[in-house]
Amino acid sequence: MYSIKAVAQATGLTVETLRAWERRYGIVAPNRDASGRRVYRPEDVLRLRRLREATERGHSIGRLAGLSDDGLAALLNESTDRRTRATTNAFVERILESAQRFRSAECEQSLTLAIAMLPPPQLVSDVLQPLLREVGERWHRGEFAISQERLVSTIVRRHVGLMLDTYDRNARRAPIVFATLPGERHELGLLASAMMCASRGFKTHYLGPDLPPAEIARFAREVNAAAVALSVVLQDRAADAPAQLGELVSHLPAETAVWLGGSAARDLPREQLPARCVVLADGAELEQRLEMLPA
């Protein structure tokens, strides 16, 4: 729970604006502590950050107040600069075209150019995620051979790993552990998220795929991790995730957050997940969660 002063610092809104928005529009409903002071949940902070961003883009708070969290996120995504998207889509198309012709050097050249031109969050959301998704879909449709899929994934893994190592050398903020649960072998999205967190100064411990929950928790305790980030991509492994997460949480300190990402994470039954586990909608929410971690 966060005080109104902490929320103001985290969102960029003034205390007066927060009180006025609550009074006029009921945009969030804070609780009260034993002294009667307002206290806010992390979800309230995320919503308020999005509301501030939307108002800065010209939308009225009166219109925004009635939107759900998903509706607000969709509105912000629709407002993204189309020219920027066109540029990033060009990177994806060039890499796919090069892979189609088995031109590994051209794939690598296009990816390194994207790395040089784009900040890490945009690189992940606008290039790496759509690229890996399209490669996987082409492989499933029979349009890409296994060798072409491996060509792209190997280049992505190598360059993102190099970026992660470079950023991590100077990282001084709270430690975060990245891993996947048993049976989950897809790791490139997780690796990209780890790199993005390292670029923001967080000490990143990347353990990779297919680890027992107790081992992940043991490592997190040893490094005093502020959060454990897990990727769930395979639908056929999702059924085992609630029990595995329960085991993980039982071995973690109470203050360690557990974040879930990946395409299958969104379909996990929320009522079966431990209360501490949070499913992140996208990279923007990951960034917002980072800002709420203790120093």
Is residue 101 over pLDDT 80?
yes
- Which of 61, 78, 95 terminates a domain? The answer is 78
Length of the chain: 295
Same domain, 57 and 98: no
Question: What does the mean pLDDT of the chain come to?
Answer: 88
Residue pLDDT, tens place only, 185-199: 889 999 999 999 999
How far apart CA 257 and CA 157 sit, in angstroms, is: 26
Is residue 65 over pLDDT 90?
no
Same domain, 210 and 190: yes
Same domain, 225 and 130: no
Same domain, 232 and 246: yes
Same domain, 179 and 285: yes
Same domain, 47 and 114: no
Percent of the chain residues past pLDDT 90, beyond the cut: 42
Same domain, 225 and 250: yes
Is residue 87 over pLDDT 60?
no
Label residue 41 by pLDDT band (50, 70, 90): confident
- Tokens representing 129 are 């995620």
How many domains does one find in the chain?
3
Tokens 């990279």 belong to residue:
283
How far apart CA 284 and CA 271 sit, in angstroms, is: 24
- Cβ-based neighbours of 243, under 8 Å, separated by 6 or more: none
Percent of the chain residues past pLDDT 70, beyond the cut: 96
Question: Regarding predicted confidence, which is higher, 214 or 289?
Answer: 214
- Which of 163, 195, 217 terminates a domain? The answer is 163
Query: Helix, strand, or coil here: 121?
Result: helix
pLDDT of residue 85: 55
Same domain, 181 and 152: no
Same domain, 49 and 91: no
Range of the domain at 46: 2-78
pLDDT of residue 86: 53
Same domain, 68 and 49: yes
pLDDT of residue 83: 47
Same domain, 267 and 191: yes
Summarize the confidence of residues 232-251 as an average pLDDT.
Answer: 87
Same domain, 90 and 195: no
- Which of 137, 163, 189 terminates a domain? The answer is 163
- Tokens representing 44 are 């309230």
Bridge pairing between strands 38-40 and 31-32? antiparallel
Kindly report the CATH number assigned to the domain that includes residue 71: 1.10.1660.10
Phi, psi of 184 (to 5 degrees): -95, 110
